Structures are given as structure tokens and as C-alpha cells.
Amino acid sequence: MDRQVTKHEVPSYEIVEEKIKEIDGSIIVLRIFYIFMQIAYKFQLIKNDELCTVEIPRKLLEGLRGENPILEAKLAEILDSSLQHSDCWIKV
């Protein structure tokens, strides 16, 4: 089972949250899990009564600490493609 973590344990959490808000200000980060087997963070996001899960590699988040525009673009691409895809959102 994946371990739930706090936002303080996630590298560059503020950048992820900011990018999510840029896409849609009504999306809220519900929970975050660390996936040990994939070395990634799984963000569970909620909007109205729908849930979306987005996985972001740990290396990408750690690289964002240095304000890398290429990695920021990669993060934006991951979030945008997931959050804009209707299959991501599941009614809860």
C-alpha cells in the first residue's frame, strides 16, 4: 500500500499546487501518496464531486527546486494532459 504523505514532505509542492490552480482554480489537492515501487508521488485531486489521480515522478519534483524551465514545462504538460482528459475524472 502506498504511504500517504503531507504536502511538507513533497518536493516543490507549492509549484505543483500553483500549476494546478493555473489550469483550474476550483481543483483541490485532497491527498498525496508516495509510490515506493515507482518512485513517484500520486496526487488525488477533487473538483466538485469528481476525483482525479495524477502521478508525478520524484526526480521531476526534486529538479524543480532549481527553477528549471524545462522541468516546469514537463510538469505543466503532465498536469494539463491529465486534468483536461475526461477519463481522469471519476464521480465519487
Domain ranges, ordered by start, for the chain: 3-91
Cα–Cα distance for residue pair 66/47, rounded to 1 Å: 30
- Does pLDDT of 5 surpass 90? yes
- Does pLDDT of 85 surpass 90? no
Kindly report the pTM of this predicted structure.
0.90
- Does pLDDT of 34 surpass 90? yes
Reported as a pLDDT band with limits 50, 70 and 90, residue 65 is confident
Cα–Cα distance for residue pair 49/27, rounded to 1 Å: 11
Give the count of alpha carbons within 13 A of 79, CB side only.
24
